[in-house]
Amino acid sequence: MSLLPKLKLNFSKFPEGGLILVILVLGLLLTIFGGEVERPKIVTGPDGQPTRVMQTDANGQEVPVFVKLNKFFNAETLTQIAKDTSFFAIMAVGMTMVIITAGIDLSLALVEEDHGSETALAVARELVVYLKRSGGQLQKPARPFVVRGNAKLLAKQHNLLSWIA
């Protein structure tokens, strides 16, 4: 019997956990094995301009002061990674919106084909979208639409929901 408890990784509730774990491990490996780099030490002077820090050596000459930084885990590298990946993050959000909108449009077209335009129009109004879009229209209905009291339309909606389920 082992004294160490079993390490149980369960990603069923958080499927992206594996990807995050890989990213963290890669970052840790790059930080540990990436090495160091020497960069000149820069401070902000009294006039607000960046200036190099200098010190006097044994011969009386001024030489620049250098600081050692990790090649991977430093502010410049992390800022550059954020800048490089921001384009892809913004594009991913945009594409997600396009795909969702296209899915709604396709679903409405299928509802219209199977159950008629009246039912599709009622579903579109319930979702607060247009059944058919035209170029210059705003994406909002003239007034909120709730299907109540119309037995024929309620029956069609019931049939549609049964068909979807």
Q: Tell me, what's the pLDDT at 161?
A: 72
**pLDDT tens for the chain, residues 1 to 165:** 555 566 566 666 777 888 888 989 998 999 899 899 898 999 998 898 999 999 998 888 999 999 998 988 888 888 999 999 999 999 999 999 888 888 888 888 888 888 888 888 888 777 766 555 566 655 454 544 445 566 777 777 777 777 776
Q: Tell me, what's the pLDDT at 86?
A: 93
Distance CA 153, CA 126 (A): 13
Q: Tell me, what's the pLDDT at 13?
A: 74
Q: Tell me, what's the pLDDT at 144?
A: 44
